[in-house]
Chain A
Amino acid sequence: MAAEKSRIAVTLAASDRLVWQGEAVRVSVPAAEGSMGILADHEPVMAATDEGTVVVTRPDNTQLRFEVNNGFISFDSNKLTIAVERCTKEQSKATKQEA
């Protein structure tokens, strides 16, 4: 597994549209009790999220940031669904960052 890193299929849906869908190696979500990082093969979890920033690290190490308000996430067999009321701002432009 080390050679081929597991990936997470992410779906970020706002209540009126699909915001983003794609693969990621790491996702950090603003869970109700502090920021929560999710890597592949995380245990199945359902969490309430608060207002904050969702940071998606893509396989090529670029990062996407989404400003969201409250919602919830559900993660199960490397599928992550983030459902939020509104995604107010999105920085779709990839910003290169150190891994």
Chain B
Amino acid sequence: MASQLAYKARIASTASLEKIFNAQEMIASSRIAKARDVALGAKPYSDAIFDAVQAMAQHSHIVHPIVTAESSNPNVAVLALTADRGMAGAYTSSIIRETEALLGRLESEGKKPKLYVYGRRGVSYYRYRGRDVAQTWEGHTDAPGVEIAETISKTLLDAYMTPKEEGGVSELYIVFTEFVNMVVQKVRILRMLPVSLKRVSGQAAQSLPAAQPLYSFEPSLDEVLDRVLPKYVQSRIHECLLTSAASETASRQNAMHTATDNARGLIDELTRKLNATRQAAITQELTEIIGSADALNNDKE
């Protein structure tokens, strides 16, 4: 049985860890409000763009490089959205696992994937393993603003628009974590480019009014497409960043909650053991005293 001092030291260190976990949990829950604000702020803009793109898709058969795939180019881009900081449970590792699976699948299809990573954890993972990463971004993974979405989408659109001979890519996949609710977050793979506008058909099309307004385009349909489609891609990427940020915060809160509970359980268990040890020591001392007193009494008789 370990000494009482050892138990006391372990209880003290577990207690201070528990405080840290608890603080992290509270920080995570306070950040959720911030992440939600950012997400709500971006919504009117992305709605406007989405509506415009849907209206255009209804209006005419869109011919634009962002919509039509160039299938002869084997280069594809994969963007993995990971966290900046750890302590978020399996958040980053599930993203990395899915990314690896996707890379393997693309390679088996004869494609040459290029990896783009967002988030310090993912970057350090690939750097440590000496993997080729086309480009990385770090910072603000728990509340990504428009600026970072703009930078990322610009880089990726540039890569997409570059001809095959100069190392351009023909497809873009995003591996991100979808925020289902506070407890459930799912890793999803989304093919972002070329944009598929097929979602207009089916249920969505039925809810649209029968007579679509015939828009006129200023200065021309192509110019408006040139303007709107990159913004559409950017706002979709921003959406992915935002839902990933919400998932990151939620999984950090969950992980920290579990860690706090675990630390409290450990403290309880250790305290029980400490009490048992103390009791044993007291019993032993008493036995010794009684034993020696008995021995003295026996001597007298």
Residues of A within 8 A of B (CB): 11, 13-18, 31-33, 36, 43-48, 70-72, 74, 76-77, 81, 83, 85
Contacts and interface: CB of A to CB of B under 8 A. Distances in A.
Interface residues of B, number: 32
Contacts of A44: 213-216
B219 interface: yes
Interface of B: 38, 41-42, 44-45, 47-49, 51-52, 55-56, 145-146, 149-150, 213-219, 223-224, 226-228, 231, 234-235, 238
B235 A72 contact: no
Given A16-B42, A48-B224, A72 B145 contact: no
How would you classify the secondary structure of chain B's contact residues: helix, strand, loop or mixed?
helix
Contact of A45 (B38, B150, B217): B217
A83 B52 CA distance: 10
Contacts of B38: 16
Contact of B48 (A17, A33, A81, A85): A81
Given A16-B42, A45-B218, A76-B213, A83 B223 contact: no
A71 B235 CA distance: 13
Contacts of A11: 44, 48
Contacts of A16: 38, 41-42, 45, 145-146
B215 A17 contact: no
A72 B228 contact: yes
A36 B216 CA distance: 14
A43 B41 contact: no
B227 A77 contact: no
A13 B44 contact: yes
A83 B215 contact: no
Top 8 closest pairs, chain A to chain B, by CB: A47-B218, A44-B213, A13-B44, A83-B48, A17-B41, A48-B227, A18-B44, A13-B45
A83 B231 CA distance: 10
A32 B223 contact: yes
